[in-house]
Structure formats: structure tokens, C-alpha cells
Amino acid sequence: MASAEGLQEVGYFDCAGGGQVRVDGTTAYIGHMANPFGTSIVDVADPKNPILLSHTGMPDGTHSHKVHAQGDIMVRNHELIGPGKPDEFATGVGVYNVSDKSNPRLISTWDTIGRGVHRFDFDGRYMYFSSTVEGYRGPIMVVIDLQDPESPVEVCRWWIPGQWEAGGEEYPWADGPEPRCHHPLRMGNRLYMSYWHHGCFILDIEDLSQPKMISSFNTGPTFPHPTHTALPLPFEIGGHHHMIVADEDVAKLRPHAPAFTWIFDITDETNPIPVSSWQAKDLDPIGEPQGVFTGCHQPSEVVTGPVIPFAWFSKGIRMLDISNPHAPREVGHFDPDPQPGCDRICANDITVDDRGLIYVIDRLRGLHIVEQT
């Protein structure tokens, strides 16, 4: 049953299910979950009437479910999702000129082997991402420079010692989950990186060509959910620095209650400490095991204040006030009905535009645009 508090729907764009939505100016970019759907570019100047400007598909066996754009440059991931590999460019990064948003042009690629590129951050010049790379076991972190978008240049790579198989590193995880960089986020001269079942890491990138680990923390295996996002907050609260660490409600190491989110104090960044956790209403973080895609997934990576919008798989948008990081509280929600042909909602990704509008893409179908009341 649909419900909302503190939020109301402004507009809706009917589309195939998506993995990510980002907004640049008055243009929304949607990365879809499954081929043939790839990336949709949507005019949201009038959020009540979103208009599709263009769509770029994907070949069988691949998807492009993550996308960012700034100005005339759009970048998206290319990742395998099925057996085999198409003859054309399949895995890595696609760089597009979108000066004409009705006609995106592929201008370059960064190619790799294996499954390819997953989630990433993009600041207009550098792209920070998770990728399979030849000679490594499990996805690692890679940074490329797009100063010349027609000629991407790899700047650096970083991995947990033990992943570099070609370098002869001993692999200590034969009986445990494989290391997997999920994605890094940059703030200043730091990268905050989620590493799936291996927790989160803080890297010093004062010299971007040589990242150095500052610290790490893993809430597993006590809590069996993978770490999806490590999001630093760009402001202090009570003289302290904090980071949101969101677990994803998939790939659990054992049956467990739905995943939730943490708040870490990183004032001493060499010793990150969890100071609280939070679960959506009606979901018990220590109760009976439930199916996947029920609990936490992703906070908005665009942070404008202490109220953080979250995409909570089975609970839509949850607005979390962290002005007291030790006692986060919900101050609004938007929980829509399932879309036609869907038996549930599955809020997958969320972002905020310059007008304060909130966009949530459903993994199964549709993009909701909402505003705070």
C-alpha cells in the first residue's frame, strides 16, 4: 500500500528498471539494469513532464546500469551479465560526447577483460571505478584521466594485497568471499571505498598516481551483508567528521535479517568507529531472515545537508536525519505502489538535483521525481 510523509510526487517517467540515476543541470541520465536497454537521457526541466531525449542500447550479455555526466561528457560502465562475450567492445568504460543530448556519440573506450566495470564516481575529469583487470583476482580500484576524453589515460590502480595473482601475491581467501572493490567516492585528497564483504577503506590520494591506505573497517562476518557504499559527509557535526556506510541487501554470507546502514565517526581517520546503525520501519535488523532486495541499498551520493535520502529496496525513499549521528531518525518517506507488471517495488538508486528535487529509480520499472513538503 502506497504511503508518503514529508514527500510528494512531482513527476514520473515510465522506463525499464534502472541501476542508477544522476542529474546534471536539468538532464537526468538513467542506467538500466538489463539489455537491450542501456542508457536513457531525459529532459527534466519540467519535472512534471519528463521527456526522453535519447536512448543508447546495449548488446546481449552486457549491461550499462551505471552512468554519470558533466557538461558535454557522459561516462557509463560496460559489464557482462551473461555467458559469452559479444564481438564488439563489451567490458570497460564508454565515454560519450553528449553536446547533442538527442544523439550521444561514443568517442572513446577504456577496455578490460572479464566481467568489466561496475559502479564508479566521476568528477568531470577523473573517473574512479571498480573493474576486473587482467592478472588480478576479483575487481580492483582503477582511476582514469579524461582530461582528453577521446584518449583516456590510466592514472593508478589499487587492490588489497593478495589480489595481484600475476605479481605472485599469496591469495589468503580460498575459504572466504573473494575481494571485490564495489566503488570509490572522492572527497578532497581522500578516496572512500567500499569493498563488498571485505568492508571499507580510506585511501590518501594526495599523489593520485600512488594511493596509500590510511585505514579499513569491516562489520563482517558478524553482519553478513556486503558493504555497498562508503559515503563521507562534506561537513562536520559537533566538530567531528562522519561517513555513512551502507550495506546492500544481497549476497549474504548466510541467511539473515535485512541489511541496514551505519554511521561511522572518522575524525581520527586512522581509526574509523561505527557510532550508530539504522533500519527502516517494520524491518527488524536482528529478526528473522528475509529474502534479498528487502533492506538497505544506497544513499544519495549528492549530499546537501544532514537529511540524507536513501533508496531502501522494499521501502522506497527513506529520509534519514543524521544531525545527531548517534541517534539517526527518519523524517520522511515515499513508498509508492508497484508499477504495472511488477509484484513489488525495488528502489535501487537515488540522487538530488540543484533544485532539491529527489529522483529514485526502481530496479524493476520507473523513475519517480519527488519533492519535500
Compute how many other C-beta atoms are within 10 angstroms of the C-beta atom of residue 120.
Answer: 25
Report pLDDT digits (tens) over 266-307.
999 999 999 999 999 999 888 899 999 999 999 999 999 999
Mean pLDDT computed over 207-218: 98
Chosen CATH of 3-372 out of 2.130.10.10, 3.30.9.10, 3.40.50.1100, 3.30.360.10? 2.130.10.10
pLDDT of residue 325: 98
Report pLDDT digits (tens) over 334-353.
999 999 999 999 999 999 99
Residue 1 pLDDT level (bands cut at 50, 70, 90):
confident
pLDDT of residue 60: 87
Element (H or E) spanning 276, and its range? strand 273-278
Task: Return the DSSP state at 155.
Answer: E
Q: What is the rounded CA–CA span in Å between residue 275 and residue 322? A: 11
pLDDT of residue 85: 60
Match 546495449 to its residue by C-alpha cell. Answer: 58
Residue 82 pLDDT level (bands cut at 50, 70, 90):
confident
Domain positions in the chain are: 3-372
Mean predicted lDDT score pLDDT of the chain = 96
Mean pLDDT computed over 201-215: 98
Mean pLDDT computed over 139-162: 98
Match 530496479 to its residue by C-alpha cell. Answer: 363
Mean pLDDT computed over 188-199: 98
Q: 32 and 38 in contact (C-beta within 8 Å)?
A: yes
In this model, does residue 83 exceed pLDDT 70? no
Q: 262 and 247 in contact (C-beta within 8 Å)?
A: yes
The runs of H, that is alpha helices, within 140-230 are none
In this model, does residue 324 exceed pLDDT 80? yes
Compute how many other C-beta atoms are within 10 angstroms of the C-beta atom of residue 282.
Answer: 7
